[in-house]
Amino acid sequence: MKTVPIRVAWLGEQDCRDCAVRNSALFAGLQEVDFGELHQPIEDIILEPPAVLYRIGERGRVVFTLRRGLVKLVKYLPDGNQRIVRLLRHSDTLGLEALLGQPYPHDAIALTRCEVCTIPVSLVERLGHEQSRLCHELMMRWQQALAEADRWLAEFSTGTARQRVARLLLWLSETAPGQPVPLFGREDLGAMLGLTTETVSRTIAELRRNGLIQEMPHNQLTLDQSELQRIADG
Amino acid sequence: MKTVPIRVAWLGEQDCRDCAVRNSALFAGLQEVDFGELHQPIEDIILEPPAVLYRIGERGRVVFTLRRGLVKLVKYLPDGNQRIVRLLRHSDTLGLEALLGQPYPHDAIALTRCEVCTIPVSLVERLGHEQSRLCHELMMRWQQALAEADRWLAEFSTGTARQRVARLLLWLSETAPGQPVPLFGREDLGAMLGLTTETVSRTIAELRRNGLIQEMPHNQLTLDQSELQRIADG
DNA sequence: CGCCCAGTTGAGGACACTCAATAGCGGTGG
DNA sequence: CCACCGCTATTGAGTGTCCTCAACTGGGCG
């Protein structure tokens, strides 16, 4: 059995050469010839929200690359409240802790429909011995995660409710500026921003009334980027 | 010239074999024999607050190991306000970004008198090619930094002012429970906790009135650990 | 149809922020 | 040695934002 509790669909083992995130994924640094090594079971699965990738405290034997979708990393406070410490998106890596034999430090839960590669730790270790480039690539991953963590602290836990919401919406639109962004439950939004669901609801309602955001089908939003940026900057 | 702007004292090159943080430092995983490689200029310097280790945007060619003291990592918001995203302490590593050729993403500023090892990136790279254990050690560093970052978000940017202050004081006493903890400027405390200086001042004054903390010489505090823990847990 | 859950909206109050004045502390210079 | 200055911490009053508790709405689904 794997550590992936909910497997909605299974795309089958597939060659990373064809991966859509080839250039930004973990094995991007490998030469073509190295892919001969990849006859390991790298599985590609699809998760429907709110599927659980892993639970806090579990010791997994796989790391994940997120090919599509959004995943939240959740911690729990002494009083039982949840706090979302980060979101992961396209080409981000999850569960690097498994490489160090450490238990996962969060719950990882899909916020949208996700496409995820599961890569056995044993494979990474084997390749890592010969491929110092893989080692470098892994460090890049960690560094990126750290930069995001710092950004979350600085942007999403600081300022007024309106500023935080605006910044989060802009963050969500970063990958594809101008495109509609998915909006999720008020409870999740609150846990990301350190606000209550009611405050988030009110703030979003106000942005909508002022025309800074517009509802689209499928819970998608179109943003007034410049105006939101003005709010975000205070 | 080095990237260290303020060098108050220089202890001279020294063999990492004798380092006080040998077992927890970056090169802990290396065998005795490997130290033959270490005829590189690993410098050991002392910084007085508020000395600057590095500035945001700089591209350094050294990583740092903190042997003694506290260092703050500072980001700046669009409105110019600062936000301290993390503190580093005994045996923590700074500036890992340099290993990836990236600019430092924060200002790193000494909060207390600090003793710091500066390790040239070139040295780490050279050793890393042969020593996969060093690679592993580096990943541990990154993971630890990430765990701390998440913790800061969850603990110090959530809850009431009293809870945040209590958690920060407990965090400061973690390395040496029961020992007095250093207290720094209200402005820094505010930037760590996402509060104003006045609120921090009021909160600390109240804790003092209630006997949960006691002033000591040299800006040191003794804590009522259990009672503070009760507050921290809400 | 009616339940259930998520989102919205409202009223009231608590908490933290703002602005402002005061107090304490260390350094400097007369 | 003391007076003065500058800086930080403290304290106060008033305001605003966000939280709490509660009622209401609306869509999805059995």
Q: For residue A21, what pLDDT is reported?
A: 57
Same domain, A149 and A178: no
Same domain, A28 and A137: yes
Single pTM value for the model:
0.79
- Nucleotide nearest the Cα atom of A215 (by C1'): C7
- Confidence at A131, pLDDT banded by 50, 70, 90: low
Mean local confidence (pLDDT), B185-190: 89
Q: For residue B29, what pLDDT is reported?
A: 53
Helix axes of A132-156 and A161-172: crossing angle, nearest 10 degrees: 150
Nearest residue to A159 (alpha-carbon basis) of A74, A233, A61, A70: A233
In a domain? residue A2: no
Same domain, A125 and A33: yes
Mean local confidence (pLDDT), A26-48: 64
Which range (A27-36, B81-90, B109-118) has the least confidence? A27-36
Averaged pLDDT of chain B: 82
pLDDT tens by residue, B28-79 = 555 544 555 555 567 889 998 888 999 999 999 999 989 888 899 988 877 7
In a domain? residue B116: yes
In a domain? residue A90: yes
Q: For residue A14, what pLDDT is reported?
A: 52
Q: Find the residue in A nearest to B194 (Cα).
A: A158
Check whether A114 has a pLDDT greater than 60: yes
How close B135 comes to chain A (CA, Å)?
A: 7
Which residue minimizes Cα–C1' distance to D11?
A: B202
Q: For residue A25, what pLDDT is reported?
A: 59
For residues B144 and B142, what is the distance between their CA atoms, to the nearest angstrom? 5
Same domain, B111 and B208: no
Same domain, B200 and B148: no
Q: For residue B224, what pLDDT is reported?
A: 95
Q: For residue B38, what pLDDT is reported?
A: 53
**Could you list the residue range(s) of the whole structural domain that residue B190 is in?**
157-232
Mean local confidence (pLDDT), A97-102: 89
Check whether B132 has a pLDDT greater than 80: no
Mean local confidence (pLDDT), A45-73: 91
Q: For residue B208, what pLDDT is reported?
A: 94
Same domain, A122 and A19: yes
In a domain? residue A178: yes
What is the secondary structure of A73-108 as a DSSP string?
EEEE-TTS-EEEEEEE-TT-EE-GGGGGTPPPSSEE
Q: For residue B25, what pLDDT is reported?
A: 59
Strands ordered across the beta sheet of B71-76: B52-54, B107-110, B71-76, B82-88
In a domain? residue A53: yes
For residue B116, the domain's CATH number is 2.60.120.10
Q: Find the residue in A nearest to B232 (Cα).
A: A78
Nearest residue to A108 (alpha-carbon basis) of A80, A81, A88, A132: A88
How close A80 comes to chain B (CA, Å)?
A: 10
Question: How many domains, in total, are found in chain A?
Answer: 2
Contact in structure between A214 and A208 (CB atoms under 8 Å): yes
- The answer to whether the C-beta of B186 is closer than 7 A to strand D is yes
- Confidence at B26, pLDDT banded by 50, 70, 90: low
Mean local confidence (pLDDT), A106-121: 90
Q: For residue B2, what pLDDT is reported?
A: 31
Same domain, A68 and A169: no
- Nucleotide nearest the Cα atom of B194 (by C1'): C16
Mean local confidence (pLDDT), A198-212: 96
Q: For residue B4, what pLDDT is reported?
A: 35
In a domain? residue A139: yes
For residue B206, the domain's CATH number is 1.10.10.10
In chain A the first and final C-alpha atoms are separated, in Å, by 50
In a domain? residue A1: no
Same domain, A33 and A123: yes
- In strand D, which positions have an atom below 7 A from any protein CB? 8-13, 17-22
In chain A, count H helices and then E strands.
6, 12
Same domain, B135 and B181: no
Q: For residue A26, what pLDDT is reported?
A: 62
Same domain, B182 and B76: no
Same domain, B130 and B169: no
Which of A138, A155, A172 is the endpoint of a domain?
A: A155
With CB atoms and an 8 Å threshold, state whether A159 touches B77.
Answer: yes
Q: For residue A203, what pLDDT is reported?
A: 97
Beta strands in chain B (DSSP E): 9-10, 43-47, 52-54, 62-68, 71-76, 82-88, 93-94, 107-110, 114-120, 181-182, 213-216, 220-223
Q: For residue B50, what pLDDT is reported?
A: 85
Which of B123, B152, B181 is the endpoint of a domain?
A: B152
With CB atoms and an 8 Å threshold, state whether A147 touches B105.
Answer: yes
Helix axes of B225-232 and B161-172: crossing angle, nearest 10 degrees: 140
- Confidence at A17, pLDDT banded by 50, 70, 90: low
In a domain? residue A43: yes
For residues A189 and B157, what is the distance between their CA atoms, to the nearest angstrom? 15
Which of A123, A155, A187 is the endpoint of a domain?
A: A155
- Confidence at B160, pLDDT banded by 50, 70, 90: very high
At A136 the three-state DSSP class reads helix
Which residue minimizes Cα–C1' distance to C7?
A: A201
Same domain, A44 and A115: yes
